[in-house]
Amino acid sequence: ALLDSLPAFQDANYTEDGVQDVLPRPVACAGALVFVDVHFAYPTRPDHVVLRRCNLQIAAGECVAVVGASRAGKSTLGALLTRLYQPSQGLILLDGRELTMLDPTWLRAQIGLVPQNPTLFAASIFDNIAMGLVAWRDLERHTPSNGSSRGGRAEERARVLEAAKRAKVHELIKAFPEGYDTQVGRDGAALSREQRQRIALARALVRDPKLLILDEVADAPMERLSTTQTAGSSNGSSSRDVTTLVFSRLANGAAVRHADRIVVLEAGKFVEQGTPSELLQRLDGVYRRLHLEQRQQEEVLLDSEAQIFPGGRRRRPLEPPMAGSPPSSTSRFTQRDVKALSRPERKFLAVGLAAAAVMGVAAPLLGLLISEMLADMTEQYARFLSSHDRKGLLAALRPLIMQHGFFLCAGTAIVVVFHSLQLFCLEAHASEALRQRRAVVELGLERAWCASFETLLQRPLRRTRRKAQFRGLARALSAVVLVATCALACWLGGVLVRNGDASVRELARSFLVVVVSAQVLGVTMAWLSEADGALEAGTAIFTLRDAATAAAASRGLPPPPSSSVSSEGELELSNPVLNGSVGLHNVRFAYPTRPDALVLDGLSLHIEVGQTVALCGPRGAGKSTVLALIERFYDLQSPPEASGSGGRVLLDGVDSRALDVGWLRAQIGYVGPNPMLFLGTIAENIAYGMPAPPSQEAIVAAAQVAHAHAFISRLPDGYATLVGGLASQRQQQLSPGQRQRIALARVVLQDPGLLLLDEPTRALSAESEKLAVQQALDTIVAQRVRRTTVIAAHPGESPTVQNADMICVLASGRLVEQGTHAELLQLRGGLYARLVREATSSPTASSLTGVSTV
């Protein structure tokens, strides 16, 4: 019910009287598309028109590439085709039928979508690929049988394996220790972007779509798909029967090369269309201009003489290696830790102990008081019965009894509400569906996700019902035992009083003292049952505390130069600035989730202060892992653990584990391939993380250095534009290149001594790469002569690599080559030279050479 109430899940059409209007589901789909005078503006920005008078015809089985710069409107076309939005004006026809007149579940089942940043759910690789079949199974349950079926579990597994092979990801999955059962983590965090995209491609192919949409798909997955163009699918259809729509910023990418026709989209309008050769012949054409710009960047990559830094620069030698290494230790929950942390609150603890003592004494005293009152009442019972005070007593007790009933009902309701919230908070399922609701809708998983959520709710219901029955029986038995015990005690006391062995006062005193004390003891015993849980919680808290503090000096690590150790064991730097020298010594590392797979195997590397160093290598070589270790996202173990993880990472000659994590990360600037913007304005995002709020002038200056000021100024609200948030419309307002430039502006404002760039050009178009990376990074590096810059990138992804002072080539977690761009190109048969040739050799390169001579 909650999911159905969200706008993203409301796809059913309703008539005026509120009756659901069942939309048609055609028997077959050919895949022919027609755009007729389509206009569109997002509901959040109705004044900003994204698409203007778009008219286009795509034949069934045709492969069409839509090429355009960032924010030209390419992804918006995909959103309209999947009916996430409807055109403001105009029509979109599929096989001659208007999209709004087709059942949305059936429509999305015909579409295979591979987005630029694909969404993977917290499940295994097999389950993520198999989710492409969920929409078909849902249709079969709600559609009369037509003689076809998607088969059972065996057939499903066969289809998943076949789709993985068609997407050329089968061998990659088999290389994982758990194969198809490998858990991808939340949002696919355990996989790289390219791996997520390959799995998303297999998920799109597993349903044998009639319309395949590839939104900024990387070249590698597209080339793997192109090698199977003539391969048949499980239902016997050829890939040429599939209408393919490719959205790309790269005019010479592999996805565009294999297209039958290219359509150029600029400022929301289709301005050109034709074959690649036809468009390249147009001297003033938009496609030719984009093609030439990208080709020029490829030629710059091959120019070994180009240098960002003219002349040499004096380097400071590395600090001598630090002796000693920290022993591995495990945080323990001790009374000494508790006393040390509780020392400032001793006064409050004394007051609490006194109050606890009072409460402990109050229980038996209350029993004595009640017994004395009852004894007095028994002596005056006859006089009380003869008086009229009993009516007043009943009148006084009546509202108390009624209030007790109301309080009991309210308390029961509160318990029910909190219990319902506990059942509702199945975060692993519900929150993921809400956070990734766009992907759920695009894949047609609404009904299946709701059914799965309902199934998950049944499990705690059955468990709670059994627990409630057991507890109810136990409570009833305990009540019976308590009442029977009281009855027996009263009977025995009556016998003693009758025989003259005890008085009424003595009986009441002993009976009530024992009963009240037993109740207090019962509450205490109930708390004692939680002792193990409290011990575990305390251990976890102290483990986090030890990991978050800079107490490494007390574990055998020598203090860094220009520093001192406080009485608490924390490092106090007299010069709180990181110079930027980096050293890796025999680093062996495996991720905790995959301890048997070494990512870095004996890596040793030295980076001097002020150097610009590029880490290159094939996918999975360990480039990003090196940056993660420098940032202390992970810590090495010394001596090595059973997994083999060990070694040292030195920063300014100091083991990084001896430095405070907060201070260290404040000295490092980091820019990743897909920067995340926080919920707030653009100005707040640029200033995020600064110790003191910067001025507006400083924010604007940083944006100018990062070449972001121009597009920010063009926004209606300028620097006050709201952005950020997971999968929110605010995040969709900015292209990946614009988000990257905002992240670069944040680094400029931070002015760090060590700058880490993790594949910064992966998600950027040619224009964004030129502005945000090449020019912006040149300016950032030139701002501080002694800034150390480490960039992890593929040789064909960023022209910044060739201009580095030193290029370190990694393979299988080891350093295999090292030198400048020109030196590495001269190594015949070298890995770097081969990667450069692979990145720059393409069929379009030769075609462009011929065009340039026209």
Per-residue model confidence as pLDDT tens digits over 157-183: 888 899 888 888 888 888 888 888 888
Q: Which residues contact 213 (CB under 8 A, 6 or more apart)?
A: 78, 81, 82, 111, 112, 113, 114, 244, 245, 247
Q: pLDDT band for 234, please (50, 70, 90 cuts).
A: very low
pLDDT of residue 355: 81
Residue 129 token pair: 């690929």
Q: Is residue 583 over pLDDT 90?
A: yes
Q: pLDDT band for 377, please (50, 70, 90 cuts).
A: low
75-82 mean pLDDT: 87
pLDDT of residue 353: 83
Q: Is residue 326 over pLDDT 60?
A: no
Alpha-carbon separation of residue 101 from 76, 106, 136, 270 (angstroms): 20, 11, 19, 25
Q: Which residues contact 39 (CB under 8 A, 6 or more apart)?
A: 49, 51, 52, 53, 54, 87, 88, 89, 90
Residue 787 token pair: 């800034």
Q: Are 631 and 659 in contact (CB under 8 A)?
A: no
Q: Is residue 558 over pLDDT 50?
A: no
pLDDT of residue 584: 92
Give the angle 312-315-321 at the CA atoms, nearest 5°. 150
| Helices 193-205 and 153-166, packing angle to 10 deg | 130
67-75 mean pLDDT: 81
pLDDT of residue 649: 92
Q: Residue length, the chain?
A: 854
Beta-strand relationship, 63-67 and 243-248: parallel
- Alpha-helical runs (H) found in 640-735: 661-666, 682-686, 696-705, 709-714, 729-732
Q: Is residue 697 over pLDDT 90?
A: yes
Reported for 842-849, long-range contacts at CB under 8 A and 24+ positions apart, including other chains, are: 842/252, 842/254, 842/257, 843/257, 844/252, 844/257, 844/276, 844/291, 844/295, 845/252, 845/295, 845/298, 847/276, 847/277, 847/280, 848/252, 848/280, 848/291, 848/292, 848/295
Global pTM exceeds 0.85: no
Please state the domain extents for the chain. Answer: 3-273, 426-522
Buried-exposed string 208-240: b where 16+ CB fall within 10 A, e elsewhere: bbbbbbbbbbbbebbbbbeeeeeeebbeeeebe
What is the spatial distance between Cα 809 and Cα 660, in angstroms, rounded to a whole number?
30
Q: Which residue has the higher pLDDT, 685 or 302?
A: 685
Q: pLDDT band for 700, please (50, 70, 90 cuts).
A: very high
What is the spatial distance between Cα 827 and Cα 837, in angstroms, rounded to a whole number?
13
pLDDT of residue 397: 54
> Please, which residues bridge with residue 214 across strands?
114, 246
Find where tokens 């920290």 sit. Answer: 326
- Alpha-helical runs (H) found in 584-707: 623-630, 661-666, 682-686, 696-705
Q: At 564, which helix (H) or strand (E)?
A: strand 563-565
pLDDT of residue 698: 92
Phi, psi of 158 (to 5 degrees): -65, -40
Encoded amino acid at 818, one letter: Q
**pLDDT tens track for 455-467:** 767 777 777 787 7
Q: Are 167 and 225 in contact (CB under 8 A)?
A: yes
Average pLDDT of the chain?
72
Alpha-carbon separation of residue 489 from 372, 476, 492, 514 (angstroms): 18, 19, 5, 11
Phi, psi of 723 (to 5 degrees): -140, 180
- DSSP assignment of 107-162: HHHTEEEE-SS----SSBHHHHHHGGGHHHHHHHHHS---S-----HHHHHHHHHH
pLDDT of residue 207: 84
For the chain, give the longest Cα–Cα distance. 127
590-602 mean pLDDT: 83
What is the spatial distance between Cα 775 and Cα 395, in angstroms, rounded to a whole number?
87
Least confident of 364-378, 391-405, 471-485: 391-405
State the virtual CA torsion across 704, 708, 712, 714 in degrees, nearest 10. 90
- Alpha-helical runs (H) found in 258-345: 276-280, 286-302, 335-342
Provide the terminal-to-terminal Cα distance of the chain, rounded to the nearest Å: 64
Q: pLDDT band for 604, please (50, 70, 90 cuts).
A: very high
Phi-psi region of 85 (alpha: psi -120 to 50; beta: other; left: phi over 0): beta
> Please, which residues bridge with residue 780 across strands?
none
> Please, which residues bridge with residue 757 across strands?
671, 791
What is the spatial distance between Cα 504 and Cα 493, in angstroms, rounded to a whole number?
8
417-442 mean pLDDT: 54
Residue 734 token pair: 């900015």
Q: pLDDT band for 302, please (50, 70, 90 cuts).
A: very low
pLDDT of residue 427: 47
Q: Per the omega criterion (within 30 degrees of 0), is the bond before 558 cis?
A: no
What is the spatial distance between Cα 65 and Cα 290, in angstroms, rounded to a whole number?
14
What is the spatial distance between Cα 563 and Cα 664, in angstroms, rounded to a whole number?
14
State the virtual CA torsion across 688, 692, 697, 698 in degrees, nearest 10. -70
pLDDT of residue 503: 81
Buried-exposed string 571-605: b where 16+ CB fall within 10 A, e elsewhere: bebeeeebbbbbbbbebbbbeeeeeeebbbeebeb
- Residue closest to 142 by CA, chosen among 446, 438, 430: 446
Cβ atoms within 10 Å, residue 767 = 15
Q: Which residues contact 312 (CB under 8 A, 6 or more apart)?
A: none
Reported for 602-607, long-range contacts at CB under 8 A and 24+ positions apart, including other chains, are: 602/647, 602/813, 602/814, 603/647, 603/810, 603/813, 603/814, 603/815, 604/815, 605/808, 605/815, 606/318, 606/582, 607/580, 607/581, 607/582, 607/583, 607/788, 607/790, 607/806
Residue 778 token pair: 């040149």
Domain with residues 3-273, CATH architecture: 3-Layer(aba) Sandwich (3.40)
Encoded amino acid at 417, one letter: V
